[in-house]
C-alpha cells in the first residue's frame, strides 16, 4: 500500500512540482491551496504525511499546523523559505510538532525545486516511518503553541466553524546576542559531542536546557542544517539554556560553560592553536554526505582529546553519520549514548551505532541530560588533578 501525502501550498506551481516529485517516487499525492483547505482535505483523505508551506493566505502554515497537531496529529514536513525570517517560523513549527523541514532553494515560489527533489523524498519517507510516534508528541506540542500575529493575507475574522486562535506560550528569557564564548570556566577536563539530524531541534530542546550552569564539560553539536538556520537555532537555544550557546563561525577556544553549534553548510571540527584546543568551522568535506558532519567532528576529537574523557551522543536522524567514529571512540575508552527507538523521530543514526556495538547505553531523549550530568561529574572528579 502506497504512502499518501497531502501537499499544502498556496502556489499552484509549487503544488504541481512537489506533486510530480513525490508521485515519481511512488507516493500517492493530494493537494490543498491553503491551511484551511488543508485541514478539510486532511479530514477527507487521512494522509500519512503532510508537507506544509508557511506563508499562505486564509490560514497560514503555523496556524494550520497547530490545528493538525491538536486535532489529527501526523508527521508534517515544513517547506520553508531559506531566509532568517523563514528559519524563525520553521523553528516555531518544529516546536509545534513538525517532524522536519526542507528549505526552498529560491524562496516562496521556487523555480528550482527539483534541486531538492532527492532530499524531499528522503524526508517524506523518514516522516512516514515516524508516523507511529507522532500522535502523543503532536498533541502535547499543539497545547504549548506560541501566539503569532495574523498576517496581512489572513482574514479579519476566522470562519465561524473553526477557531484559529492558538494557546499561549510559556515565557522564556530573551536570547542573548552572544558572539564570544563564556570564559573563566577553566580548561576543560572533558568534552561532550552530539550528533543529530532529522527531528533534532526539538530533541535538543528537550536535552540541552537541562544541563546546569555548572556543567563541567563544554558541548559541541553537529546538527544537519543549512547555515541560515543554525544561527537562528543557536540564538533560540541560548534563550533556553543556562549554558551559553554559540554558533561556530570561526575558531573559538573550547571552554567550560559553553555549547557550540556547528555552522550549517560547513563542518565543525576540533583543532589546536598552539597549546589551546579550539573548535572551528571548515568548508564541508564532499566525502561526507551530511553537514555539519558528525563523523568528521568525532574523528577530529579523537585526534586532539583523550578518548576516556569524551562523551559522545548519537540522537535522532536518518542515515549513519557519526556511527563509525563513535564506535571507535567507544572502543578506545570513551563513553557513548544512543537515543532509543521509542523516542527517536527517525531511528537511523542511533540504530547504526547500536548495531555496530558502539553504544554504552541506549536511552530515550528525556534521560540523556541526566546521564550526561552523572557521567560528566564523575569524570570531572576523576580527572580533577590530571593534566588537561
pLDDT at 346 (0 to 100):
87
**285 is a catalytic site residue:** no
Residues 136 and 218 placed together within one structural domain of the fold: no
Domain of 134 in residue numbering reads as 4-143
Q: Is residue 178 part of a domain?
A: no
Does the pLDDT value for residue 132 go beyond 90? Answer: no
pLDDT of 167 above 70: no
Asked whether residue 385 carries a pLDDT value surpassing 80, the answer given is no
Looking at residue 232, which CATH number applies to its domain? 3.40.50.180
Closest by CA position to 102, among listed 10, 229, 17: 229
Where does a domain end: 143, 177, 211?
A: 143
* Residues 210 and 318 both lie in one domain: yes
Please check whether residue 281 lies inside any domain of the structure: yes
Residue 100 has pLDDT above 70, yes or no: yes
Quick: pLDDT tens for 283-311: 999 999 999 999 999 999 999 999 999 99
pLDDT at 86: 83
| Pair 331, 198 in one domain | yes
pLDDT band of 84, cuts 50, 70, 90? confident
Q: What is the CATH number of the domain that holds 38?
A: 3.40.50.2300
| Residues 198, 131 share a domain | no
Q: Are residues 345 and 203 in the same domain?
A: yes
Please tell me whether residues 124 and 217 are part of one structural domain: no
Question: Which is the catalytic residue, given 48, 60, 100, 321?
Answer: 321
Q: Which of 9, 53, 224, 291 is catalytic?
A: 224
Q: How many alpha carbons lie under 13 Å from residue 13 in its C-beta half-sphere?
A: 8
> Is 224 among the catalytic positions?
yes
Q: So what's the pLDDT on residue 158?
A: 34
pLDDT of the residue at 171: 38
Number of domains in the chain: 2
C-alpha to C-alpha distance for 122 and 128, rounded to whole angstroms? 10
> Which one is predicted more confidently, 169 or 126?
126
Q: At residue 182, does pLDDT exceed 60?
A: no
Q: Is the pLDDT of residue 198 over 90?
A: no
User: Is 385 an active-site residue?
Assistant: no
Is residue 232 included in any domain, yes or no? yes
The average confidence (pLDDT) of the chain is 86
Flag whether 150 is in a domain: no
Catalytic residue, from 81, 197, 300, 340: name it: 197
Predicted local distance difference test score (pLDDT) of residue 165? 35
Q: For residues 154 and 268, what is the distance between their CA atoms, to the nearest angstrom?
A: 41
Amino acid at each position: 500500500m502506497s504512502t499518501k501525502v497531502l501537499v499544502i501550498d498556496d502556489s499552484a506551481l509549487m503544488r504541481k512540482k512537489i506533486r510530480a516529485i513525490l508521485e515519481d517516487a511512488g507516493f500517492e499525492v493530494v493537494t490543498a491551496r491553503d491551511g484551511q483547505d488543508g485541514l478539510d482535505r486532511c479530514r477527507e483523505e487521512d494522509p500519512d504525511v503532510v508537507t506544509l508551506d508557511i506563508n499562505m493566505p486564509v490560514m497560514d502554515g503555523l496556524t494550520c499546523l497547530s490545528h493538525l497537531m491538536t486535532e489529527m496529529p501526523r508527521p508534517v514536513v515544513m517547506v520553508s523559505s531559506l531566509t532568517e525570517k523563514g528559519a524563525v517560523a520553521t523553528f516555531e513549527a518544529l516546536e509545534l510538532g513538525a517532524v522536519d523541514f526542507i528549505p526552498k532553494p529560491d524562496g516562496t515560489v521556487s523555480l528550482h525545486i527539483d534541486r531538492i527533489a532527492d532530499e524531499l523524498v528522503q524526508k517524506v519517507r523518514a516522516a512516514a516511518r515516524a508516523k507511529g510516534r507522532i500522535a502523543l508528541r503532536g498533541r502535547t506540542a499543539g497545547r504549548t503553541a506560541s501566539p503569532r500575529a495574523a498576517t496581512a493575507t489572513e482574514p479579519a475574522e476566522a470562519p465561524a466553524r473553526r477557531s484559529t486562535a492558538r494557546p499561549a506560550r510559556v515565557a522564556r528569557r530573551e536570547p542573548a546576542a552572544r558572539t564570544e564564548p563564556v570564559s573563566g570556566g577553566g580548561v576543560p577536563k572533558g568534552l561532550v559531542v552530539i550528533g543529530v539530524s532529522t527531528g533534532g531541534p526539538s530533541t535538543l530542546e528537550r536535552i540541552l536546557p537541562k544541563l546546569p550552569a555548572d556543567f563541567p564539560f563544554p558541548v559541541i553539536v553537529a546538527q544537519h542544517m543549512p547555515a541560515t538556520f543554525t544561527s537562528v537555532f543557536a540564538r533560540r537555544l541560548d534563550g533556553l539554556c543556562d549554558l551559553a550557546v554559540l554558533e561556530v563561525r570561526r575558531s573559538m577556544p573550547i571552554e567550560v560553560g559553553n555549547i557550540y553549534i556547528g555552522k550549517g553548510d560547513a563542518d565543525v571540527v576540533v583543532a589546536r592553536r598552539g597549546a589551546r584546543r579550539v573548535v572551528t568551522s571548515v568548508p564541508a568535506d564532499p566525502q561526507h554526505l551530511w553537514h555539519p558532519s558528525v563523523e568528521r567532528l568525532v574523528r577530529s576529537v579523537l585526534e586532539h582529546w583523550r578518548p576516556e574523557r569524551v562523551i559522545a551522543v548519537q540522537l535522532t536522524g536518518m542515515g549513519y553519520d557519526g556511527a563509525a567514529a563513535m564506535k571507535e571512540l567507544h572502543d578506545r575508552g570513551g563513553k557513548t549514548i544512543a537515543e532509543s527507538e521509542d523516542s527517536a523521530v527517525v531511528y537511523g543514526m542511533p540504530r547504526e551505532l547500536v548495531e555496530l556495538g558502539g553504544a554504552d547505553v541506549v536511552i530515550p531523549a528525556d534521560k540523556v541530560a541526566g546521564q550526561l550530568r552523572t557521567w560528566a561529574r564523575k569524570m570531572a572528579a576523576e580527572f580533577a588533578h590530571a593534566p588537561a
